[in-house]
Amino acid sequence: MHNFSATKKRLLLFILFGWLLLLVGDRVGELRQYQGSFVAMYTLAIASIILLTGYSGQLSLGHSALMAVGAYAGALSTNNAHLHPVIALIIATFVAGLFGLILGFGVARLSGPYLAGTTLALAVSLPSLANQFPILGGEQGVAFDVGAPPARFGEDFSQYKWFFWISSLAALIMIWLIANLLSSKYGRSFRAMRDNQVAAQLTGINTGRLKVTAFTISAGMAGLAGGLLVMLISGVSPSAFPLSLSFSLLTGAVVTGVYSLKGVMLGGLVLVAIPEIADSVVNRIGGSEGFTATLPGFLVSALLIAAVLFAPNGPGQLLKKKH
């Protein structure tokens, strides 16, 4: 009865938050709507890392590769199979999840630096692999057009607001499902495995199967985030998923607090704000093209180091220290 009540409260909270998002989306300009779409996409991608690393204890340094798998699956669904873009996003989720399932079986015996190294190698090798298959479009990639918003929304309903609605609703629905999963017995099993794998096995938990499950769900979430990303940039190519994206997402997870989903949106806001901060710094002090290009990456690295040193469990840790 208690779990049912908690589930109802969570549903009402997410509905209220979604309603507030739509109200905000109606009252801001197109630039903020577009940035809000990126916040939603990053929030979803960071949540997938928190599920995998924070709850099941598996460290991935190659999440950009999982996003790319979903992105290509979604783009090919619209271009080759001519499916509806929303269906393409669902396919992106399932194909990436299937890829994660296969990968999960392969790395279930790995942990720590071995698992991190394997996922890192995948992210590094993916761009060159994508260039080997003509169907993936090489360096030019594959276009992804989500189409104009439905006419029933009216002429004032812009493309950027359509992006914001799709991204926000996709992220909200997926994170709500994951929040429910983590509050169930699976969440308790994930945490038990993360804290002490041997003790979890002694209590009857099949840690190998649980690791594969976490990898599959996390990959599906990352694939959906990848589909949303290429929707926002109108196409998928190897350059859209650099290794730096994986490290940016990991930074967002650490800033958020890798052991909790509660503040996950903060990580998305930070990743969207960093390029703006970098532009502001460049406009104030000037600098070469090389400096301009590398400053966002430097800020991400500095933020990751600061978060690890001062608040590895998220900003809530600092608030607790003050009290």
For the chain, give the secondary structure using H, E and C: CHHHHHHHHHHHHHHHHHHHHHHHHHHCCHHHHHHHHHHHHHHHHHHHHHHHHHHCCCCCCCHHHHHHHHHHHHHHHHHCCCCCHHHHHHHHHHHHHHHHHHHHHHHCCCCHHHHHHHHHHHHHHHHHHHCCCHHHCCCCCEECCCCCCCHHHCCCCCHHHHHHHHHHHHHHHHHHHHHHHHCCHHHHHHHHHHHCHHHHHHCCCCHHHHHHHHHHHHHHHHHHHHHHHHHHHCEECHHHCCHHHHHHHHHHHHHHCCCCCCCHHHHHHHHHHHHHHHHHHHHHHCCCHHHHHHHHHHHHHHHHHHHHHHCCCCHHHHHHHHC
Per-residue pLDDT tens over the stretch 112-156: 677 778 888 888 887 777 777 778 877 778 888 887 888 888 778
Ranges of the chain with pLDDT below 50:
1, 317, 319-320, 322-323
**What CA–CA distance (Å, rounded) separates 9 from 32?**
30
Residue 225: predicted pLDDT:
95
Confidence at residue 219, expressed as pLDDT on a 0 to 100 scale: 94
83 neighbors 77 (Cβ within 8 angstroms): yes
Integer Cα distance of 167 and 297 in angstroms: 25
Of the CA atoms within 13 Å of residue 77, those in its CB half-sphere come to 23
Would you list the domain boundaries of the chain?
2-242
Q: What is the pLDDT of residue 119?
A: 81
Q: Give, in degrees to the nearest 5, the angle at Cα 114 between 111 and 117.
A: 130
User: Please, what's the b/e burial string for 60-86 (b: 16 or more CB within 10 A of its CB; e: otherwise)?
Assistant: bbbbbbbbbbbbbbbbbbbbeeebebe
- Residue 197 CA to residue 188 CA, distance in Å, equals 13
| pTM exceeds 0.85, yes or no | yes
CA distance 60 to 247: 10
The angle at the Cα of 290, spanning 287 to 295, to the nearest 5 degrees, equals 75
Measure the CA dihedral 44/264/209/74, to 10°: 0
User: For residue 265, what pLDDT is reported?
Assistant: 86
Amino acid at 103: L
Q: Name the residue with tokens 């990968």.
A: 103
Query: Distance (Å, rounded) from C-alpha 194 to C-alpha 208?
Result: 12
CB atoms under 10 Å from CB of 303, counted, come to: 18
Instruction: Judge contact between 264 and 109, C-beta under 8 A.
Output: no
Q: How far apart, in Å, are the Cα atoms of 162 and each of 83, 116, 118?
A: 18, 36, 37
Integer Cα distance of 228 and 68 in angstroms = 11
